[in-house]
Chains A and B, each alone.
Chain A
Amino acid sequence: MEQGRIVKVAGPLVVAEGLALSRMYDLVRVGAEGLMGEIIEMRGTRCSIQVYEETEGLGPGDPVESTGAPLSVELGPGLLGSVYDGVQRPLDALEALTGAFLARGVTAPGLSREAKWAFDATVTVGDRVEAGDVVGIVQENKVITHRIMVPPNVSGTVQDIASGTYTVEQPVGHILTEDGSLEDLLLMQKWPVRVPRPYRGKLSVDEPLVTGTRVIDTFFPLMKGGVSCIPGPFGAGKTVTQHQIAKWSNAEVVIFIGCGERGNEMTDVLMEFPELVDPYSGEPLLKRTVLVANTSNMPVAAREASVYTGITMAEYFRDMGYNVVLQADSTSRWAEAMREISGRLEEMPGDEGYPAYLGTKLAAFYERAGKVATLGGPLPEGTVSGEDASADKAGSERIGSVSVVGSVSPPGGDLSEPVVQNTLRVVKVFWALQDTLAFQRHFPAIDWLTSYSLYLDKVKPYWVENVGTEFRPRRDHCMEILQRESELAEIARLVGVDALSPEEQILMETAKSIREDFMQQNAFRDDDQFTSLAKQDRLLKMILLFHEKALEAHAQGAPLKRIFTAPVRERITRAKYSEEDQMSVFDEIGSDIETQLVGEGLKVGDAR
C-alpha cells in the first residue's frame, strides 16, 4: 500500500504528503502505532487527515499508510448486543486488550472472527439471485432472525451453497456473476459508512412508531420511517425520554448512538439494557440493540464518524425488512465535532463558527431515514419466524424502515442557534422539552404548545383502523382545551381564577386533568411507563366525559366546588396506573362520573 509521511500535526488533524493515489475519505494508518484516520481534504500533493485517536507524540516525518478503502463497517451476525466506539471497534474487545482505559493504536474487528453461526440456506444451487435477495438465515438470538443477503451490486446464479456452521469469514457458498467471476457469499458484508445503502424505492410513511409515552403517541406521533428532533436545555429530561423510546417503541431493532455524551450515562445504558426485558418478546432488550458509544472525552474525529457508523447499521437491518429506530444523542455534539475539524482545516466559517456545509450534512443524514421497498425479492418462506413482528410481510414486497430520533443540545436552550434551525428544516416532529416544566416535575417535559408533528394526517387512517374513529377528534378536542387554557391562564393570572366564567373554570380544570392525569408520566414507575394506544384512547375518553358531564351538571345548577371535588376525580387521577388488561376500570369510572355528576349525586347536603 502507498506510504506517505507526516508534515504537520495540529490536534486531531494531521497533514501528510506522498499519498497521491489515495482518494477522499480513504482510511489511513498514521504513525508507527498505526492510528486510524480518514482523508478529508486534498490539496496538491498534501492531504489532510482527521485522526480518530489522540495524536500526542506524532511529528513530521512519521509514516502514514493508505489502506486504499474508505471507512467501512462490518455488517453481519454478531452486531446485535454489541457496543462499539464511533469507528466500530468493539469496546469489550478493547477492554480485554488494554484494560479499563482506552489505549492508542489498538484495534479489533467489528465482528468476532471466532464466533460460529448456524446458517440455514433458503436458496438452492442454480437459483438466480439479485442484490439484496435473502439466501439464508442465522437465528442470531430468540428475538431477531438475521437474514443473510446478497450484497448490493452482486447478482448471478448460486454456484454452491450449504447450511452449516460458519464464522463470518468462511464462505457459505458462491455466486457466479454475469461476467463469469465467482463471488464468495459470506455471512458478513462491508459497507462504506458515508454512502447510503441502496434500496428499490422510498415509500410514504403510514404506520406510527408506538412508544407508549402518552404525550408522544397521542399528541405528537412519530411514524415508522419518520424523523424527529428533541431539543432540551440540560436537565429537561431529554435522555430519559430517549431511553423510553429505545425501551418501549415497537421497532424490531434499536440503534443507540451516544455521540459526545456522558460516560456514566452510556454506562447506565450498558448496564440497564441487558436487564431490561423487551416487552414484546420477553427477552433482554440488548438482544435487539446495537450501541455506538463515543463519549465526550473520546477522540473528536471518531465522534464525527459515529453517526454514519450508526445509520449504516440501521440501513442494513432495514434492508432485511425490519423496522429500525435510530437514536442519535446528541447531533449537536456531532455538529460541534464538524466545527472543530473545520476550524483545524482553517475553513471559512458560517454561523457561529460552524462550517458552511452544516445544513447540507444534517439534511443528508436525516434523509437516510425513511420507509423503503428494499432491494431483493420478498422474504422467502422460512426466513420469518412466528414471533417475528414483521411476519405478515412474508410473501409480499419486502419493506423496512429507519426512524431517526435526533436530539439537539442548544447552548443556553436557545433554539435560534444554527444546529437546531438546520435540523428543524428537515424533521417532521418536534418534541419541545422545556426546563420550566421539568422544574415543576412535569415529566416528560414536552411542551404541548410549541411541539408539533406533521404526521397527523398520515397517521389518521391507522388510528381509525386500529384505535377507533373517535381518537383523532378526542385528541384534537384536548389540544383545543389546552390551547384555550393557555389564553385563559393569562387572564386568570392577572385577575384571578374567580373572574372567569364557570364554563371557563371547568375548562381550566379539564386542562389540568389532561396535563396531570394524561400527559404526566413517570418513567421510573412500572405501572406507568408504558401505555397502549387503546388505553390512551380510554383515558382521553374518560377525561372528556368528565368535562362534558361537568358542563351539564353546571347547567343543571350544581355548584362548581361540588363538581370539582366529586369522589370520582380521585379515580380519574389513578386511572393511568391501571393494568393494561383491566379496561373495565374505565367503564366503572365512566358510570361513576354519570352517577356522581348527574342529578341526585350532586344535590348539596342530601346526596345520601
Chain B
Amino acid sequence: MKREYMTTRDIVGPLMLVENVSGVTYGELVELEFPDGRRSLGNVLEVNEDVALVQAFQGTQGSNPSQTKVRFLGRGLTLGVSRDMLGRVFDGLGRPRDGGPEILPDKDVSIYGSPINPTARDFPDDFIQTGVSSIDGLNPLVRGQKLPIFSASGLPHNQLAAQIARQAAVLARSDDPQKVGEKLEGEFAVVFAAMGITFEDADFFMSELRNTAAIERSVLFLNLADDPAVERIATPRMALTAAEYLAYECDMHVLVILTDMTYYCEALREVSAARKEVPGRRGFPGYLYTDLATIYERAGRIKGRKGSITQIPILTMPEDDKTHPIPDLTGYITEGQIILDRNLHRRGIYPPVAVLPSLSRLKQKGIGPGKTREDHADLSNQLFGAYARGIQAKELAVILGEAALSDDDKAFSRFADAFEGEFIRQAEHEERSVEETLTLGWKLMTLLPRTELKRIKDDFVERYLPDMEG
C-alpha cells in the first residue's frame, strides 16, 4: 500500500488536507517533508473516505501543496520510555534537546494513555509536606493529587512551584504521635513540562533543579515560546507518559509540573479555529473540558503499585479572571487550587497565596492523627474562619474607622495582619515542618478571645494553646 503522498489540496494555518489517500486511520502519525528538505511530524485529526486532515506540529511554514511529501507512518504518536530519561532534557515532542544521545527505549507507549479504571484507583491520602505554611497548614497537598496554581502575569508562581519541587517530602505515618513527621526517603522524581514559557522561566527551573542536584531525578520536556505552538498539544502528554512509566513501572513518586496550561489551551484554540469548529466560551473549543480532563486525570495512585503521580499544573489567569474558561474548567477537574493574589504580592508577602479562595479538596484525608497531628483539621478551620472575619473587620474599619470596631472585631483585625505577616509570609528557601506550621498557627490563636475558638475541640485548646503570659 502506498504510504507516501504528494496530494495535499489545502494548507490552512497548521492544518493540511491531503487527498486520494487510502488506509489512513484516525490519530495516525504523519511525517511531512517540506520542499526545502525540512521534516516535521503531524497527526491525523479526521479522515473522510480518501481525504485526511493532518495537523502539523511544527507548523506549515515553507510547505506548499504540490511539493510537500506526506508520509503516513501506520502508528500513533508514541514516546519511547526508559529509566535513562532521568536527568535528560527533551523537546516538546520527546526528542533529546540537550545534545545527548537518543534514548534506547524500554518500550514505545502511546502518549494518549488510557483512562485509569476508577475501581483500580487508590485514594490519595498521604500527606506531602511542602514546607510552605499556607499550603501545609490550610490547603495540604496529598500524594496522587492534582493541585494547580492559579497565577497571573507578574506573580511568583515559578518560585513557589520550584520551592514545592525542592522541599516536597512524604511524612511517615504512624499510630505513635512521636514517630509521625519523620521524612520518608523514597524514589522521587520530577517531570517538568514547559509549554510556551520563555527561555528565562525554563532556565530558572533548570537551575533550581541543578542547585539541589534534583536534576538527576528529573525529566524535562521543553516547548518554549519560540517553538511551534501546535507541538504544545503533545507536550503535556509526553511528560505524563514518561511520568506514568516512572510511577507505575519503576515505583517512583513523581511530581509533574505543567507550565503554562494557558498556552496549551491557546494552541488548542488555534487548531480548533483553523478547523472552523463551533467555538464555546471565548473562542475555546467545546471539548476543552474533556481535553483538559485527559491530562489532569492522569494524576493518581493505583492499588497495588508503589508509585504515584502528583500534578501541579500552573496557569496564568488572563486579566486575573478566575471565571475565564481555562481556570474555570481546570478548577472543575482538579482537586482544588492554590490562588496567588496580586495585593499580597504588592505588599511584599511571599508566597502571595490567597488563602480564602484556595482549596485542597483532599485535605480531609491527608491530615489528622497518625498523618500530621490530631488538631490539624480543627486548627485549620479556625484559622480560615478567623482570617475571613478579620478581613471583614478590616473592610469595616476602612468605612467606619478603626474606632468604630467592637473589641472582638479589633482582635480579629489584628489577627488578620499577623496571619498574613507571619503565617503566610515565609522566605523562598525557608522550609517549615508541619509541626512548626501548626505551632505558628496556635501562637496566632492567642490574639483571639478564647471564647471565639468555637471550631476547635476544647481538649485541643487545653493542650495546644500557648499560655499568653508565657
Q: Is the CB of B323 within 8 A of A58?
A: no
Total interface residues on A, CB under 8 Å, equals: 69
Q: Confirm or deny: A349 has a beta carbon within 8 angstroms of a beta carbon on chain B.
A: yes
Residues of B within 8 A of A339 (CB): 280, 286
Q: Confirm or deny: B101 has a beta carbon within 8 angstroms of a beta carbon on chain A.
A: no
Q: Is the CB of B300 within 8 A of A264?
A: yes
Q: Confirm or deny: B62 has a beta carbon within 8 angstroms of a beta carbon on chain A.
A: no
Q: Confirm or deny: A276 has a beta carbon within 8 angstroms of a beta carbon on chain B.
A: no
Residue in chain B with minimal CB distance to A14:
B26
B2 to chain A, nearest CB (A): 14
Choose among B48, B120, B296, B365 the residue that contacts A95 (Cβ–Cβ < 8 A): B120
Q: Confirm or deny: B261 has a beta carbon within 8 angstroms of a beta carbon on chain A.
A: no
Q: Confirm or deny: A235 has a beta carbon within 8 angstroms of a beta carbon on chain B.
A: yes
Residues of B within 8 A of A59 (CB): 23-26, 28, 47
Chain B CB count within 10 A is highest, among A11, A102, A439, for A439
Which of B161-169, B226-234, B287-295 lies at the interface?
A: B287-295
Residues of A within 8 A of B277 (CB): 343
Q: Confirm or deny: B145 has a beta carbon within 8 angstroms of a beta carbon on chain A.
A: yes
Please judge, given known A-B contacts A414-B323, A440-B388, A496-B400, whether A56 and B76 are in contact too, CB under 8 Å.
Answer: yes
Q: Is the CB of B381 within 8 A of A441?
A: yes
Choose among B145, B289, B384 the residue that contacts A441 (Cβ–Cβ < 8 A): B384
Q: Is the CB of A9 within 8 A of B121?
A: no
Q: Confirm or deny: A10 has a beta carbon within 8 angstroms of a beta carbon on chain B.
A: yes
Q: Confirm or deny: A182 has a beta carbon within 8 angstroms of a beta carbon on chain B.
A: no
Residues of A within 8 A of B112 (CB): 54, 56
Q: 0/1 per residue, A334-375, Cβ < 8 Å to B?
A: 001101100100000100110000000000000000000000
Choose among A57, A83, A264, A496 the residue that contacts B76 (Cβ–Cβ < 8 A): A57
A69 to B324 Cα, complex, angstroms: 43
Q: Is the CB of B123 within 8 A of A496?
A: no
Q: 0/1 per residue, B376-405, Cβ < 8 Å to A?
A: 010001001100110000001001100010
A43 to chain B, nearest CB (A): 14
Q: Is the CB of A494 within 8 A of B120?
A: no
A550 to B329 Cα, complex, angstroms: 49
Q: Confirm or deny: B463 has a beta carbon within 8 angstroms of a beta carbon on chain A.
A: no
Q: Is the CB of A95 within 8 A of B117?
A: yes
Residues of B within 8 A of A293 (CB): 118
Which of B87-95, B177-185, B331-339 lies at the interface?
A: B331-339
Q: Confirm or deny: A103 has a beta carbon within 8 angstroms of a beta carbon on chain B.
A: yes
A171 to B401 Cα, complex, angstroms: 82
A100 to B279 Cα, complex, angstroms: 35
Q: Is the CB of A296 within 8 A of B119?
A: no
Residues of B within 8 A of A411 (CB): 281, 323, 325, 328-329
Q: Is the CB of B47 within 8 A of A439?
A: no
Residue in chain A with minimal CB distance to B46:
A10
A214 to B278 Cα, complex, angstroms: 44
A267 to B142 Cα, complex, angstroms: 15
Q: Is the CB of A92 within 8 A of B25?
A: no
Q: Confirm or deny: B84 has a beta carbon within 8 angstroms of a beta carbon on chain A.
A: no
A411 to B25 Cα, complex, angstroms: 35
A83 to B50 Cα, complex, angstroms: 41
Chain B CB count within 10 A is highest, among A83, A239, A441, for A441
Q: Confirm or deny: A178 has a beta carbon within 8 angstroms of a beta carbon on chain B.
A: no
Residues of B within 8 A of A60 (CB): 22, 24, 47-50
B427 to chain A, nearest CB (A): 27
A271 to B119 Cα, complex, angstroms: 9
Residues of A within 8 A of B322 (CB): 412
Residues of A within 8 A of B27 (CB): 55-57
Q: Confirm or deny: A383 has a beta carbon within 8 angstroms of a beta carbon on chain B.
A: no
Q: 0/1 per residue, A382-406, Cβ < 8 Å to B?
A: 0000000000000000000000000
Please judge, given known A-B contacts A56-B112, A100-B120, A264-B362, whether A352 and B323 are in contact too, CB under 8 Å.
Answer: no
Choose among B25, B114, B116, B324 the residue that contacts A58 (Cβ–Cβ < 8 A): B25
A239 to B404 Cα, complex, angstroms: 40
Chain A CB count within 10 A is highest, among B45, B119, B287, for B119
Choose among B117, B119, B325, B332 the residue that contacts A409 (Cβ–Cβ < 8 A): B332
A414 to B337 Cα, complex, angstroms: 19
Q: Is the CB of A441 within 8 A of B385?
A: yes
Q: Confirm or deny: B171 has a beta carbon within 8 angstroms of a beta carbon on chain A.
A: no
Q: Confirm or deny: A479 has a beta carbon within 8 angstroms of a beta carbon on chain B.
A: no
Q: 0/1 per residue, A1-31, Cβ < 8 Å to B?
A: 0000001111100010000000000000000
Q: Is the CB of B364 within 8 A of A524?
A: yes
Q: Is the CB of A263 within 8 A of B290?
A: no
Residues of A within 8 A of B114 (CB): 54, 101-103
A7 to B333 Cα, complex, angstroms: 34
Q: Confirm or deny: A426 has a beta carbon within 8 angstroms of a beta carbon on chain B.
A: no
A275 to B27 Cα, complex, angstroms: 43
Please judge, given known A-B contacts A339-B286, A412-B322, whether A295 and B388 are in contact too, CB under 8 Å.
Answer: no
Q: Is the CB of B388 within 8 A of A262?
A: no
Residue in chain A with minimal CB distance to B122:
A267
Residues of A within 8 A of B296 (CB): 297
Q: Is the CB of A57 within 8 A of B25?
A: yes
Q: Confirm or deny: A266 has a beta carbon within 8 angstroms of a beta carbon on chain B.
A: yes
Residue in chain B with minimal CB distance to A414:
B323
Please judge, given known A-B contacts A56-B112, A95-B119, A264-B145, whether A412 and B328 are in contact too, CB under 8 Å.
Answer: yes
Residues of B within 8 A of A481 (CB): none
Q: Confirm or deny: A606 has a beta carbon within 8 angstroms of a beta carbon on chain B.
A: no
Q: Is the CB of A295 within 8 A of B118?
A: yes
Q: Confirm or deny: B42 has a beta carbon within 8 angstroms of a beta carbon on chain A.
A: no
Chain A CB count within 10 A is highest, among B24, B293, B323, B356, for B293
Q: Confirm or deny: B269 has a beta carbon within 8 angstroms of a beta carbon on chain A.
A: no
Residues of A within 8 A of B384 (CB): 439, 441
Residues of B within 8 A of A409 (CB): 332
B261 to chain A, nearest CB (A): 15
Could you tell me which residues of chain B, from 261 to 312, have a CB within 8 Å of some CB in chain A? 277-281, 285-287, 289-290, 293-294, 296-300, 302-303, 305
A409 to B332 Cα, complex, angstroms: 8
Could you tell me which residues of chain B, from 209 to 257, have a CB within 8 Å of some CB in chain A? 248
Q: Is the CB of A9 within 8 A of B336?
A: no
Q: Confirm or deny: B113 has a beta carbon within 8 angstroms of a beta carbon on chain A.
A: yes
Chain A CB count within 10 A is highest, among B286, B356, B361, B385, for B286
Residues of B within 8 A of A297 (CB): 115, 290, 293-294, 296-298
Q: Confirm or deny: A270 has a beta carbon within 8 angstroms of a beta carbon on chain B.
A: yes
Chain A CB count within 10 A is highest, among B297, B302, B303, B381, for B297
Q: 0/1 per residue, B43-71, Cβ < 8 Å to A?
A: 00111111000000000000000000000
Residues of A within 8 A of B25 (CB): 9, 56-59
A99 to B119 Cα, complex, angstroms: 10
A304 to chain B, nearest CB (A): 11
A60 to B23 Cα, complex, angstroms: 7
Q: Is the CB of B332 within 8 A of A300?
A: no
Residues of B within 8 A of A235 (CB): 331, 336-337, 357, 359, 361
Q: Is the CB of B290 within 8 A of A264?
A: no
Residue in chain B with minimal CB distance to A333:
B289
A207 to chain B, nearest CB (A): 33
Q: Is the CB of A9 within 8 A of B280?
A: no
A529 to chain B, nearest CB (A): 13
A11 to chain B, nearest CB (A): 8
Residues of B within 8 A of A267 (CB): 118, 121-123
Choose among B117, B328, B361 the residue that contacts A102 (Cβ–Cβ < 8 A): B117
A112 to chain B, nearest CB (A): 15
A319 to chain B, nearest CB (A): 28
Residue in chain B with minimal CB distance to A90:
B119
Give the 9 A-B residue pairs with the shortest CB-CB distance, closest first.
A412-B323, A296-B293, A59-B25, A56-B27, A297-B297, A9-B26, A100-B120, A101-B114, A267-B121
8 contacts between A and B (CB under 8 A): A9-B46, A54-B114, A59-B23, A61-B23, A263-B116, A263-B297, A297-B294, A414-B323
> B: which residues have CB within 8 A of A?
22-28, 45-50, 76, 110, 112-124, 144-145, 248, 277-281, 285-287, 289-290, 293-294, 296-300, 302-303, 305, 322-325, 328-329, 331-333, 335-337, 356-357, 359, 361-362, 364-365, 377, 381, 384-385, 388-389, 396, 399-400, 404, 406, 454-455
